[in-house]
Chain A
Amino acid sequence: MQDIAGVLVNSVISAALYATMAYGLAVIYGVMRIINLAHAGLMMLGAYATFSLFTRFGLDPFLSLLVVGPLFFLFGVVLYRLVVRRLPRSGATPSMESLLLLFGVWLVLQNFAYFIWTGDTQSILTAYTMKSVAVLGVRVGVPSLFVFAGSVLSLVFLNVVLKTTYLGKAIRAVTQNRDAALLAGVDADSISAVAFGLGTAFAGVAGGMLSTLYAFTPDFGRSFLLKAFCIIVLGGMESVTGVAAGALVLAFLENGLSAWTTLPTSFQDAVSFTLLFVTLVAFPQGLPGLFARLRTAFR
């Protein structure tokens, strides 16, 4: 039986990566009220982009994130301008059109990847892939530590942009009330393009980091999209702390169950699916709703 420190360290490390995946979805949802089903395809593409930079140019997968991030930002802006902006404006909830469109984009990306990279399973092997170090007495793989650092840096970057820049102020304004933002002179269409770019960049970076931990094919990403949905349902789309809390809950359950029960690893995806199901049935408002209910119950 593994000790609690091991589970906690591993949970925090996975949670940071999960939060990075979920943020990409949350930014886009906040500004446009659409759910980016192509997120999984973009993560897969991020993994292959990192793979190509590694095999062609020998670029370290973590350094290549500095290329993948901006590249995917541009790709997201172009995708928005060419495709996504043509959607009819959705109201408070995502429209069927937006789901279908982005599902279609996912399929296109997947087939594009089959065409370029074939369906063979790929993975990235660096000099440090098999190395590990001790953190708080727990052996942790070096790639996992780099993934943790990369995730934290991405999240700090996003938070600084949202909290301290005028662009961030405009993004928050459109998220809170699109009509009011327009009335105050904010060009919501340009802000949507930037938000879609940011969300895409986060998917690309998350995919690039995943490629250092897992083997991948063009179908890669689906189970991670499910995890991101689960986190968002738990933590809500609007708050930074909510997403972080949702990511921690999921990561802790996954790591705890694999450490303390005989649940086979192949069942790990069932954890997020079960959690999603239980959350939607038992407390559909997610963690914030659960806390609010507990507060009233104990007053």
Chain B
Amino acid sequence: MPEPILRVKALKKRFGGLLALSDVSFSVAEGEIYGVIGPNGAGKTTLFSCLVGSLPPTSGSIRFRGREIAGLPNHAVVKRGLVRTHQIVRPFRDMTVEANVSIGAHFGAGKRRGADARGRVAAILERTGLGARAGSLAMALPIGDLKRLEIARALATEPAVLCLDEVMGGLNPSEIVAAMSLIRAIRDSGLTVLMIEHHVHAVAGVTDRMLVLNFGEMIAEGVPRDVLQHPEVVTAYLGDDAGAA
């Protein structure tokens, strides 16, 4: 079996008295779409923050492409090819869509400059369906386009692994279908995708394997069909009463 592109071992994150992540371990294979689900406050976003270095983990190991990255700062992790998006979008509001994406192209893993960067940015805008919006200011975009911009900027950093934090939150059913096909297209272009989602069935429809977190602990991992039938997962999502009934 080849070395997984991302291997997390015994990852712990403590905020004062609160153990936000306890002993989380999993591996993601190259080219996989891997989902992370769990109720609110389960530690999903904390997990992503630790992976990309915006929060230092309390203990544990994160190996990415065979090298330890736990504790590296965010921008250094991005330059090695691991990038995330945020559930609450973070655009450069006073820049155009094109300029937003070009920041990723200049300062990400690709470090592209000049015409090379412009070509790359144009291709990404086309692929994410933002081509017609290239010249608009980010602050003028509707939420659906902002979510796409968040993904476009992350793609412009030329990652090997893309971590998506609730990209489907707030989207309507037809937008969810479009988002799912975009995620598959991203995988088919050679990337590995990690995704956090609240919308369980949207994740189940697109992921190869998934992990369930509850109160910072892993309660199940595997292919979606098995995971969703796991009794602890049912309890975590629907509550004890539903489980007993």
Confirm or deny: A4 has a beta carbon within 8 angstroms of a beta carbon on chain B: no
A-facing residues in B61-92 (Cβ within 8 Å): 73-76, 78-79, 83-86, 90-92
Nearest chain-A residue to B79 (Cβ)?
A185
Scoring A residues 158 to 182 as 1 if CB is less than 8 Å from chain B, else 0, what string do you get?
0000000010011011001101111
A-facing residues in B155-212 (Cβ within 8 Å): 156-157
A182 to B79, CA, bound (A): 10
Scoring A residues 172 to 208 as 1 if CB is less than 8 Å from chain B, else 0, what string do you get?
1100110111111111110000000000000000000
Enumerate chain A residues within 8 angstroms of B54, measured Cβ to Cβ.
179, 182
A173 to B84, CA, bound (A): 17
A184 touches B108 (CB 8 A): yes
A185 touches B78 (CB 8 A): yes
A183 touches B153 (CB 8 A): yes
Enumerate chain B residues within 8 angstroms of A185, measured Cβ to Cβ.
75, 78-79, 83, 104, 107-109, 157
Total B residues in contact with A, Cβ cutoff 8 Å: 31
A177 and B106 contact, Cβ closer than 8 Å, known pairs A182-B54, A186-B75: no
Interface residues on chain A, size class: 10 to 19
- The A-B contact count (CB < 8 A) is 77
Confirm or deny: B93 has a beta carbon within 8 angstroms of a beta carbon on chain A: yes
A184 and B91 contact, Cβ closer than 8 Å, known pairs A166-B113, A189-B73: no
B113 touches A184 (CB 8 A): no
B75 touches A182 (CB 8 A): yes
Nearest chain-B residue to A178 (Cβ)?
B90
Enumerate chain B residues within 8 angstroms of A177, measured Cβ to Cβ.
90-93
B92 touches A180 (CB 8 A): yes
Shortest beta-carbon distance, A175 to chain B, in Å? 9
User: What would be 20 A-B contacts, judged by CB atoms less than 8 Å apart?
Assistant: A170-B103, A170-B106, A173-B103, A173-B107, A176-B94, A177-B91, A177-B92, A179-B86, A180-B90, A180-B103, A181-B92, A181-B107, A182-B78, A183-B74, A183-B84, A184-B156, A185-B78, A185-B79, A185-B107, A188-B75
Q: Which residues on A are within 8 Å of B, measured CB to CB?
A: 166, 169-170, 172-173, 176-177, 179-189, 238
List 5 A-B pairs, minimum CB-CB distance, nearest first. A185-B78, A180-B90, A185-B107, A185-B108, A184-B104
Sample of 14 more A-B contacts, CB < 8 Å, known A183-B153, A186-B103? A170-B103, A170-B107, A173-B103, A182-B73, A182-B75, A183-B74, A183-B83, A184-B103, A184-B108, A185-B78, A186-B75, A186-B107, A189-B73, A238-B94
